[in-house]
Structure 1
Amino acid sequence: MERELLEQLNKWHEQDQFGLIIKRIQQIPESERDYELIGQLARAYNNDARYREAVQHLLSVEEQGVNDPLWQYRLGYAYCYIANYEQALLAFERANELQPHDESTLEFLSQVRPFAEKMRRDRQRHEEQMTEWEQRGTLNHLRAASGTYDPATFWEQSDYARDNHVSAPFDEATIVSIEHELGYKLPTSYIQLMNTQNGGIPTRTVFPTEKATSWAEDHIEISSIMGIGREKMYSIGGEFGSRFMIEDWGYPDLGIVICDCPSAGHDVVMLDYRFCGPEGEPAVVHVDQEDDYEITYLAPNFETFIRGLVDADTFDLSEDEDED
């Protein structure tokens, strides 16, 4: 990389002009970008909170970077902020091997280790539950009533819901466009549910949890399920949709924000693609901004989550009984 260009990029970095760095490097044909220039681009993406793009560019020069502590540090940093803590830990551990006693690396290692262990446990739970569902042969059956799920009574009907949450019917082109925009394949069960009504407020809004969150000791509550589209504010591509919550509210870029909660943005429910990749069957998690974006595993897939929703008064009644 030319010395003059490097000096300019470093000057913009000191001025927090990360967008200018990205724009300038993008003007250079990919075939002419060397290892150092791609590292500069990845650093700018990291600092601009575009972590998935940073990972993509860093992995494009993995063969050159594998023994470079700075490359490993940048990769660990990007993985950390998309909540892929297992990969982040591996990268920071390798960075520490290559350049021991670096304070920034050691600080990240101490922070990431407990999150990586929790992610490992969640992954194991997810794999066991998905295996069980696949053996049952019941996945993606939200077309018709069965068990606790009945599409005829699933949605609350109100003027407020129709005005703010229910999107117009969608077609295949809309699905493709939204998936391209968000970077993830939508689960079949989610699409099936949106075909009964494209977003809205469910009649059952509570999902039990094994651990406490900022909302309650033993459950979380949702306000609505976002529809497929962009016109309604609370659709996944809308003004207050998935990218808004990730980019403006700081939620980890691990998938798609799918449900808002009564806290008005301080916790959400997300489709989590960390275990399956962007084309796979995502888990469902609760992400709690009030607790430093703590991730609580809820269900191995969207259908399990939908079938697990219960009436809001279920926990109210149990609390009254405890008081008696």
Structure 2
Amino acid sequence: MDMYDGLHFWSRRSVYKPGSQLDEMTIRKVEQQLGYSLPQSYKNLMKKQNGGDLAYRYFVFADGEAIIIPYLFELDEESGVGMSPIFVEQCGLPEKLVLLTGDLDAWVALDYRQEKPTIVYLIQDENGMWEEIEIAQSFSQFINRLMKK
């Protein structure tokens, strides 16, 4: 498997449609709506393409288990990342999360419960409880651990 090397992050073919091209005003509005300043490395990546399918879509845990992260949500006030507060509440997730991708059973999120945001993976167990694993100490560290076949 190839590790992400800083190039060609987004898949050329995207089932998950990217959002509109980002500008600084939109980013500020989304940050204000969420109540958090997003990591600069995340904002820079989203300016290149506002969400969509990933070319590097595998994340391998220390124990060798892997998850597939097919896409990142678009950075928008009314969809994608902007929907984080609604999904956090509806799914019973911990507060202070910004959801980067996921579905109703598993999420990858920026976790703002600490001084600096970390990246967490949350998965619902068979009892409906959320299991939470910190997978990176920063967004940059997270994307640099993504792999492709």
TM range (shorter): 0.7 to 0.9
Identify the residue that residue 224 of structure 1 maps to in structure 2: 71
Q: Equivalents in 2 of 1:159, 1:305: separation in Å? A: 21
Deviation at 1:192, TM superposition (A): 0.7
**1:107-164 Cα deviation digits (max 9, x unpaired):** xxxxxxxxxxxxxxxxxxxxxxxxxxxxxxxxxxxxxxxx83233x2111225233xx
Q: SS of the counterpart of 1:158?
A: coil
1:274 aligned counterpart, secondary structure: coil
Which amino acid is the alignment partner of residue 252 of structure 1?
P
- 1:157 is aligned to 2:12: yes
Q: Per-residue displacement from partner, 1:165-223 (whole Å, max 9, x unpaired)?
A: x0111222212211121111111010010111111111111111135xxxxx7122212
Q: Give yes or no for contact 1:287–1:296 (8 Å, CA) kept in 2.
A: yes
SS in 1 for 2:125: helix
SS of 2:107 mapped into structure 1: strand
Say if 1:159 and 1:288 are closer, same or farther in 2 by CA, change over 3 A: closer
The two structures have a TM-score, normalised by structure 1, of 0.42
Deviation at 1:275, TM superposition (A): 1.8
| DSSP-derived class of the 2:4 partner | coil
Q: Hey, what does 1:205 align to over in structure 2?
A: 57
Unaligned runs of 5+ in 1: 1-146, 212-216, 314-324
- The reply to whether residue 242 of structure 1 matches residue 79 of structure 2 is no
Is 1:253 the equivalent of 2:95? yes
Gaps of 5+ in 2: none
Question: What is the aligned partner in structure 2 of residue 118 from structure 1?
Answer: none
Whole-angstrom distance in 2 between the partners of 1:258 and 1:148: 18
In structure 2, relative to structure 1, the CA distance for the partners of 1:242 and 1:148 (3 Å cut) is same
- CA distance, structure 1, for counterparts of residue 107 and residue 117 of structure 2: 16
2:125 equivalent to 1:287: no
Contact 2:14–2:53, Cα closer than 8 Å, also in 1 = no
Query: Deviations 1:247-268 (Å, cap 9, x if unpaired)?
Result: 21221113201122xxx42000
Q: Structure 1: which amino acid aligns with 2:65?
A: D
Q: Which residue of the other structure, out of 258, 271, 287, is the alignment partner of 2:110?
A: 271
Number of paired residues? 145
Query: Is 1:251–1:289's contact at 8 Å kept on the other side of the alignment?
Result: no
Mapped contact 1:156–1:202 kept (Cα < 8 A): yes
**TM-score scaled to structure 2, two decimals?**
0.86
Structure with the bigger percentage of strand:
2
Matches within 5 A, 1:1-324: 148-151=4-7, 153-158=8-13, 160-162=15-17, 166-210=18-62, 218-230=65-77, 233=79, 235-237=80-82, 241-260=83-102, 264-276=103-115, 281-290=116-125, 292-311=129-148, 313=149
Separation (CA, whole Å) in 1 of partners of 2:134 and 2:15: 30
Q: Report the residue type matching 1:230 in the other structure.
A: E
Whether the aligned pair in 1 keeps the contact of 2:9 and 2:54 (CA below 8 Å) is yes
Contact 2:23 2:47 in 1 (8 A): no
CA contact (8 A) 1:267 1:290 kept: no
* Equivalent in the alignment of 1:25: none
Q: Share of identical aligned residues, percent?
A: 30
Aligned partner of 1:236: which letter?
A: V
List, as ranges, runs of 4+ consecutive aligned residues in structure 1 with deviation greater than 2 Å. Answer: 147-151, 157-162
Higher relative contact order (CA 8 A, sep 6+): 2
